[in-house]
Copies of this chain bind each other. A is one copy, B any other.
């Protein structure tokens, strides 16, 4: 436990007793080896000296004697080293090294007790919520010496292989050594099986103990032992740490061997660890030159050439090149390039920045918010810590650790074992929560279904808008939409004004009105054309997704992001769209700038768009309903759920629900057939949770958008929190990043209020969550406890959520 004391070995030794010990053991080297170890451990652990004070001396002497290994040091040489150790001890601590064993012991005991109240230990207890303890204990034990000669040894072993889970005794040992040598890696230990030859008796005993301990604890044991003069002493046993692969295999094997039951097996696996099984990793033996560290935003590993622009990434990736897309931050228009890249690196933004969210959704590895990197877009290079990496240079990213590595590190693909599937099937037996997925494309949907998703909980229609074949129509639609609105208002106003115009001015006024109506008609035309082009494309998307998800519910969220996200920043693209809509470049630039917002998070987006530009939502609803009818005709069961984003007032819900129904009913009438569908909303605006009773009287389901709920109720922009949230976590102001782990004591209250008020009005209200938290185990436990119907998460987290939901139920 950090903040607790480390071990002090060989306590009690003095030069005097060392001489005695040499005589008794007939081994002059051993006690001086033990003594020099004792001085440095006591100096470090009890007196707070730095390790390197001692290491420097050791190196100096080894150099002098031209030795490469500690074990080659003779007794005489060790005595010299001890002298130097004592000297540096005096220099640093301003005290002489205690020669009285009682004093050595007392000082060590006091140091342990005092460590209880050092700031690190206090913080540690706070973070892990360790309460009600009176203090720490001090363990005083007689020594056994693994360094007493060639009949002595020390080692660490596991009852099974902690890497693979294979049921085979696993470990390593060193002859004539103390435990710290095994860990330090100065000498290369031998595999445990070699002990059988060297000390058959001790080995036999060790195997018996291994078997007994595992049977007793019914779990993988991590054991330490020392052999002194051929006699085996067990120092410690504890449940062993293991890789995800091993955890799964061991759990399933133990159920099969009837050592544990299924519930225990399920509880044994840390759901977060499963991520390792789903994404490629680096070859663990590869050497890594880590040049920077950012946030581990999306797990996995990748290497590729550095490219700074999304469009170039798309082009090069099409030629089968491995690309790492490097950006200060990403936006919606980079999505194509992000999809084509092997990995994404950003220098700004948090765990739920655009880059992170999109990357996780696509299962692409991503390191985000890597603030130490300075990007120069003009020169197409980045610098970090004095190093410069140019466009085309290779880098590698470890998205699970947040590492940026120079050069090309080979990756290893993971394969899903049969054990993993067995375990998840067991999870399904126990869990009450359904696990849906956030999927925007047929590809995502397919993957999620193969991972066992129970439906789609969030299909973001805006990601479909970025395809090359569509974006121009989307842009046309957006640039003309506000003209239609404002011209309509002008014509309306003129019509009203007409009544008050004095007779003689009527004619010239009517001329003006005609012109306004002509302009309106032109804009309307461009607008309608764009929508008509987009309709069959969207319908096609939905047909594909409905086919893949047949028999399962699919929740489709209508357009959500602020419109300016779709508009081009580059002159050339702006010129292209200007030509298309018959406007000047200047006019297009003005329109784009007029759509900019100071806080886009809190601006014209979500259902607000659907109200200001009703035709856009109408087109989307038409696409959904028509796609569903087409599928129904083919005999495919579809369960569309239309989700209105960003509802904050009951008026928005009422009005849009009516609009959706009107569109659906008119299609039903035209096609002469009907399908079942639901209308619901995301609860992502704090106010929506506060008035959930009002909203529920018009909504058939709630999906808690806890990303936005967290942003707004905390007042944290997920794109800007990099400047303070990491520090807040260090200071203990935030225990966890609230974008990763649902803040149950704050945001959780809003969620609970929302569920409670919603179900007061509509007892059968379907409730789910589709924020990032839907794939996070402790948040899933919260969802289970609060009687949600489902969680929805990115495809790669579906297995994790299945397991976490089962653990919550158990």
Contacts and interface: CB of A to CB of B under 8 A. Distances in A.
Contacts of A499: 50-52
Copies in the complex: 2
Interface string A693-721: 00000000000000010011111110111
A646 B715 contact: yes
B687 A731 contact: no
A724 interface: yes
A604 interface: yes
A612 B729 CA distance: 12
B728 A611 contact: yes
Interface string A595-625: 0011111111000100110000000000000
A655 B690 CA distance: 30
B687 A734 contact: no
A374 B486 CA distance: 14
A652 interface: yes
Given A51-B499, A501-B52, A715-B685, A652 B733 contact: yes
Contacts of A577: none
Interface string A48-75: 0011100110011000000000000000
Contacts of A715: 601-602, 646, 648, 684-687, 708, 712
A59 B503 contact: yes
Given A611-B727, A724-B608, A713 B687 contact: yes
A687 B708 contact: no
Given A499-B51, A612-B724, A734-B651, A746 B603 contact: no
A465 to B, nearest CB: 20
Residue of A503, A600, A612, A687 ringed by the most chain B CB atoms within 10 A: A687
A611 B730 CA distance: 12
A691 interface: yes
B727 A714 contact: no
A56 B503 contact: yes
B598 A600 contact: yes
Contact of A716 (B50, B56, B602, B716): B602
B52 A746 contact: no
A612 B503 contact: no
Contacts of A686: 686, 712-713, 715, 750
A734 B52 CA distance: 68
A191 interface: no
A112 B466 CA distance: 54
B612 A746 contact: no
Contacts of A716: 602
A809 interface: no
Contacts of A498: 50, 52
A724 B506 CA distance: 33
Contact of A685 (B599, B612, B713, B749): B713
B687 A603 contact: no
A732 interface: yes
Interface string A498-514: 11111110100000000
A127 B442 CA distance: 46
Closest 7 CB pairs of A and B: A651-B733, A602-B717, A599-B717, A603-B720, A686-B713, A598-B719, A687-B746
Given A651-B728, A691-B746, 15 more contacts: A50-B498, A51-B500, A52-B500, A597-B719, A597-B720, A598-B600, A598-B717, A604-B720, A649-B733, A649-B734, A651-B731, A651-B734, A652-B733, A686-B713, A712-B715
Interface of A: 50-52, 55-56, 59-60, 329, 374, 498-504, 506, 590, 597-604, 608, 611-612, 646, 648-649, 651-652, 655, 684-687, 690-691, 708, 711-717, 719-721, 723-724, 727-728, 731-734, 743, 745-747, 749-750
8 contacts: A52-B499, A52-B501, A329-B598, A374-B590, A599-B600, A601-B715, A686-B713, A687-B715
